[in-house]
Structure 1
Amino acid sequence: MTLAEKYLQIRKHSEQICEPLEVEDYVVQPIVDVSPPKWHLGHTTWFFETFILEAFMPGYQVYNAAYNYVFNSYYETIGNRVIRTDRGNLSRPGVKEIYEYRAYVDAAMLRFLESPLSQNTEELLLLGFNHEQQHQELLLTDIKYILGHNPLFPAYHKTVVGHSPNPIGNREMISIAAGVYEIGYNGTDFCFDNELGRHKVYLPEFSISSNLLSNAEYLEFINDGGYQNFVYWHSEGWDWLKNNQISAPMYWHLVDGQWHTYTLAGFQPLDLNEPLTHVSYYEAYAFASWAKRRLPTEFEWEVAATTFKWGQRWEWTESAYLPYPGFSKAPGAIGEYNGKFMVNQKVLRGASVATSAAHSRITYRNFFHPQLRWQFTGIRLAK
């Protein structure tokens, strides 16, 4: 597949994700972490326009100079921007104009890709591909939050990702021998800069669950008063629980004594065999404490990942998001991509059912603040 074909494939997929939406759905921003779908479509387009076309295509004319303010996310180097909480207040540009913007940039990108690329430009292009794939997952999770917090619980689509056909739930533990292991990306294909700096770590002997935690297993924790017993929680997690009146995973609802959940296919009875999802690190830690287990470190997860099936849920680890040895931020705006976030966040490993195809690998380091749970996050236990 040529770079132009790959570009079109990725760009088309973002628009396919949005096909089931009503126009009104494109604008909603219920919380700061959830961006309006139309903003994702504009931001990913702005990325290619700003970092590829403006920088490397002679004579390129930007579609609208004001979009640099509207669609910049967090790049201080690029200039001022609409603050994140205000993205949902922008009725304009409208959805139609954003699709016109995408078409304008796509046409220019295809012209640009007719010529050979320098190594630096191709690396930026691959970053752009992966950046848009990250936003494809965010599109799905943000759409789920938007629709899942609508009192009508409208379905996004009747046939949709989010569920596994395989019953899970047994607690078989896989033993991993003590030893010195190498951690980090070791290849020639694309990876993010936070995966680089391959290095050795010593791991004592440990064991890790062959399966993700199921809804049925987590329900045991709920029924045993897990959300009412401070003993299982970090102090910060306990404060979060009380201040936000948390008593179950996100999207769980107790209706006439029966648990239901909102899925992208609509409001449904809770499937007890499904992998648990939409829990915070605080909840993951509390469950592990209750179960007399723990969460794996990201290094343990990476070493053990070849021994179990992964990719259905982003899996919380006990590791803080920190740089690997020798990490250094790239100069300019691209250096703001990962390094500036290496504080007060936890690492998640794996991928989820919302992750785009060919956008996962064992060394991938996702990261979120410990209270967040709108992504497809789950739990795998270790001891």
Structure 2
Amino acid sequence: MARHADRATLVSALVDARERTLRQFAAFEHALGPSLRVPCAPELNLPLWELGHIGWFADWWIARNPQLGRGLQADPLVARSPARQVARGVDAEALYDSSAIAHDHRWQLDLPDAETTRADLSASLAQTLALLWEAPDDDTGLYFFRLALFHEDMHAEAAVYMAQALGIDVGHPSPPVRAEPVEVRTVHVPANRWTLGWSGPGFAFDNELGAHPIDVNAFEIDAGPVTWARYLPMVDAGLASVPRYLRRTPRGWETQRFGTWQALDLQAPACHLSATEAQAWCRWTGRRLPTEAEWEVAAHTAPGFAWGEVWEWTANAFAPFPGFAPHPYRDYSQPWFDGRPVLKGASSATHPRMRHPQYRNYFPAERTDILAGFRSVRP
């Protein structure tokens, strides 16, 4: 698991992540042409900006960070060495610092071209790997290398969402079609005193820390996410709008996948649903969304509890655990404790090394571009 990855494993993982990034960028480049322009929308980013930002982030926390070896104790405001772009008279922070550059302003930036940006990423990765081989092979010495890896993996998943929104094929594999109807099963989870939050060695995101006991009453939860076969009757009854990327045809329901319409697999998990749509279905069926603690207890202890095809909305707002303290990358969690829901699990676009049942994802409740669905609990 990458949270405990040693230097050699991290070297391979960082190379793998960069290869995925470049494959996705090449697909956008092929589809969009030299301009690489996309509409200015909250769910989208400029592919060229994304590419430059990934390299800048790694440089900021690794190659340019004089406190690289201090891990969590590093001062995020310590003065950095000059960016590699300064030799060309380019202010890298003014282009790629996501904490300082408003989303919509990115469309107004004079970005370096694709060839130059790829060259910067190549140099960045080479320097990252050289420094990695010199780093202490422990949690402190490897902290920022693991952070850069996970950051790139997150952007790769976001690129899949963007490709779907734009109708661009970035090579994301098609899910298997279920030949047989999926049995609607539930699993019973007895009352439990659960420790919510990360404890122990390895890498953890700041919002996961603050392990604390919580009493969880007995409950019954879906063994798998709610499928289209269970969700769409609410739409057929006129009680919900047609979900994003779906349409009715004389032949039945179809789904748009990276710009191509195809028959909908009714046994697949319902996906691209907002938290509001998930809650509406739960009300309609007399059920409810699981709490974050219930989901986590079931994932760790309940035989037959299947997860990982879609992110799953929960009933909890994204909030700090007791004793929360931001890690050096201050803007990872703290700005988003604004009431948005926690999502648990993973999606088909989440790299396996990112998957962990204690990971806390968070998006605004109205988002439908992400690969999100839900499962339900019987009251």
Scaled by the length of structure 2, the TM-score of the pair is 0.85
Alpha-carbon displacement from aligned partner over 1:181-206 (angstroms, at most 9, x marks no partner) = 11122332222111111111111221
Tell me the number of residue pairs that the alignment of Structure 1 and Structure 2 aligns. Answer: 348
Aligned counterpart in structure 2 of residue 47 of structure 1, from 54, 57, 69: 57
Partner of residue 185, structure 1: 198
**Counterpart in the other structure of 1:94:** 113
CA distance in 1, matches of 2:82, 2:95: 20
Amino acid at match of 2:258: L
Q: Which amino acid in structure 1 is aligned with residue 230 of structure 2? A: E
Question: Hey, what does 1:235 align to over in structure 2?
Answer: none
User: 1:67: how far off?
Assistant: 2.3
Q: After superposition, what is the alpha-carbon deviation per residue over 1:112-158, rounded to whole angstroms, capped at 9, x for unaligned?
A: 334234864521121111111111111111111122xxxxxx5444x
TM-superposed CA distance for 1:52, in Å, is 1.2
Report the AA paired with residue 91 of structure 2. Answer: A
Q: Deviations over 1:31-57 (max 9, x none)?
A: 212212222221111101112111138
Equivalent residue for 1:67?
92
What amino acid maps onto 2:145 in structure 1? L
Residues 351/119 of structure 1: CA separation in 2 closer, same or farther (3 Å cut): closer
Of 155, 160, 173, 1:161 maps to 173
Contact 1:39 1:87 in 2 (8 A): yes
**Aligned equivalent of 1:251:** 245
Q: In the alignment, what sits opposite 1:289? A: 283
One-letter code of the match for 2:244? Answer: M
Name the CA distance, whole Å, in 1 between partners of 2:40 and 2:247: 19
Confirm or deny: 8 A CA contact 1:168 1:214 kept in the other structure.
Answer: no
Alpha-carbon offset, residue 5 of structure 1 = 3.1
- Structure 1 residue ranges without an equivalent (≥5): 75-79, 148-153, 228-246
The one of 38, 47, 61 equivalent to 1:28 is: 38
Which whole-Å CA distance do the structure 2 matches of 1:59 and 1:111 have between them? 17
Residue among 118, 136, 141 paired with 2:161: 141
Q: Secondary structure at the match of 1:63?
A: helix
Residue 229 of structure 2 is matched in structure 1 by 216
Q: Partner letter of residue 95 of structure 2?
A: V
- Aligned residue in 2 for 1:174: 187
Matched AA of 1:254: R
Secondary structure in 1 aligned to 2:354? Answer: coil
Residue deviations 1:202-223 (CA, integer Å, cap 9, x gap): 1122110012111121111101
Work out whether residues 194 and 338 of structure 1, in 8 Å CA contact, stay in contact via their aligned partners in 2: yes
Q: Which residue of 2 aligns with 1:276?
A: 270
Offset of 1:10 from its aligned partner?
1.9
SS at match of 1:348: strand
- Give the match for residue 219 of structure 2: 206
Q: CA offset at residue 18 of structure 1?
A: 3.1
2:146, 2:333 → 1: CA distance?
A: 16
CA contact (8 A) 2:254 2:263 kept: yes
The one-letter amino acid paired with 2:175 is: H
Query: Given residue 146 of structure 2, which amino acid in structure 1 is its aligned partner?
Result: L
The percent identity for this pair of structures is 27
Tell me which of 101, 122, 132 is aligned to 2:152. Answer: 132
User: What does residue 20 of structure 2 align with?
Assistant: 13
Residues 1:320 and 2:317 are matched in the alignment: yes
- In the alignment, is the contact (CA less than 8 A) between 2:313 and 2:374 conserved in 1? yes
Which runs of no fewer than 5 residues in structure 2 stay unpaired? 1-7, 69-79
**CA contact 1:168–1:274 (8 Å) conserved in 2:** no
Worse-superposed segment, 6-15 or 85-94: 85-94
Deviations 1:308-341 (A, max 9, x none): 11000000000010111111123x5x12221221
Secondary structure class of the residue paired with 1:55:
coil
Shift of residue 89 of structure 1?
4.7
Deviations 1:323-360 (A, max 9, x none): 11111123x5x122212211121000000000012111
Classify 1:12/1:263 alpha carbon distance in 2 versus 1 (closer, same or farther; 3 Å): same
C-alpha displacement at 1:257, in angstroms?
A: 6.7
The answer to whether the 8 A contact 1:52-1:121 is kept is: no
CA 1:261–1:288 in 2, change beyond 3 Å: closer, same or farther?
same
Q: What amino acid is aligned across from residue 37 of structure 2 in structure 1? A: V
- Greater Cα shift, 257-266 or 99-108: 257-266
Q: Match for residue 373 of structure 1?
A: 368
In structure 2, how many angstroms separate the alpha carbons of the residues matched to 1:380 and 1:359? 21
Counterpart in the other structure of 1:239: none
- Secondary structure in structure 2 of the residue aligned to 1:208: strand
Residue 357 of structure 2: SS of its match in structure 1? coil
CA distance in 1, matches of 2:174, 2:375: 18
Indicate if the aligned counterparts of 2:166 and 2:258 stay in contact, CA closer than 8 A. Answer: no
Deviation per residue, 1:56-88 (Å, 9 max, x gap):
3897652244221111112xxxxx42x202334
* Structure 1 counterpart SS, 2:316: strand
Separation (CA, whole Å) in 2 of partners of 1:255 and 1:322: 42
Query: Do the aligned partners of 1:214 and 1:275 also contact (CA within 8 Å) in 2?
Result: yes
In the alignment, residue 20 of structure 2 is paired with which amino acid?
H
Secondary structure (helix, strand or coil) at the match of 1:15 reads helix
Contact kept in structure 2, 1:284 and 1:379, CA below 8 Å: yes
Letter in 2 for 1:50: W
**Equivalent-residue separation in structure 2 for 1:371 and 1:174 (angstroms):** 29
Partner SS state of residue 200, structure 2? coil
Q: Which amino acid aligns with 1:315?
A: E
Inter-partner Cα distance in structure 2 for 1:258 and 1:277: 17
**1:29–1:87: 8 Å Cα contact kept in structure 2?**
no
2:261 maps to which residue?
267
